[in-house]
Amino acid sequence: MSEKKKALVETATRLFSRFGIHAVGIDRIIEESRVAKMTMYKHFPSKNKLVVEVLNQQGAARNAGVTAAAAPHTDVHDKIGAVFSWHDAWFRSESFVGSMFIHAAAEFHAEDNEILSTAAAQRRSFVQMLEHMLGERFESETAARLARRCALLLDGATLARQLCGRHDAARDAWEMAQALIDNERLDTA
């Protein structure tokens, strides 16, 4: 990625995270990233294309972080626990501003567009990652159900952190996820 494109994406990410997507105009992104308008439109023909790139990069970063957190573990229970621990660390970080995907879905919920589609695709990608981890221990239908439920718990924890300041929300979500996983272990034993 060129330095100018990188500057645009990083600036847009920072501004969208802080102020929202609709509230930030292209002119502000151009000004704060210190690139020419022509350069902006060379890389991103529209604001929507820039938003999609931001969401894709955020998804890739999240998936890489979660994968790295789970990688040292061989036991499925520990791998899933590491995913919740990664979220716990994120919730406690100074950079936490909530989920860019949830924000995008909230801002573009009434529109059938590439931004909502991208946010939904990132969510599916995360659930599939969880499903793959759980698939090492459970048959596919059970792994898929547990993955959806774990993702739902993490979505709720993310909102609890953002809206209520609950720094410990990921830990509470993990306690509930453990109960779900342990219950399936008993059922399949």
76, two tokens: 């499925």
Closest CA to 43 of 57, 53, 56, 31: 53
Closest CA to 74 of 140, 164, 3, 136: 136
Look up the pTM and report it.
0.90
Q: Output the pLDDT for position 9.
A: 97
Q: What is the pLDDT along the chain (189 residues), one digit of tens a residue?
A: 699 999 999 999 999 999 999 999 999 999 999 999 999 999 999 999 999 999 999 999 999 999 999 999 999 999 999 999 999 999 999 989 999 999 999 998 876 689 999 999 999 999 999 999 999 999 999 999 999 999 999 999 999 999 999 999 999 999 999 999 998 876 665
Largest CA distance in the chain: 62
CATH H-level superfamily of 48-188 = Tetracycline Repressor, domain 2 (1.10.357.10)
Cα–Cα distance for residue pair 38/28, rounded to 1 Å: 14
As a whole number of Å, the CA-based R_g of the chain is 18
Cβ-based neighbour number of residue 76 at 10 Å: 19
Pick one of 1.10.10.10, 3.90.79.10, 3.40.50.300, 1.10.10.60 as the CATH number of 1-45. Answer: 1.10.10.60
Q: What residues does CATH 1.10.10.60 cover in the chain? A: 1-45
Task: Kindly tell me the burial class for residue 144, based on how many C-beta atoms sit within 10 Å of its own C-beta (0-12, 13-18, 19 or more).
Answer: middle
How is the chain split among helix, strand and coil, in percent rounded to 5? 80, 0, 20
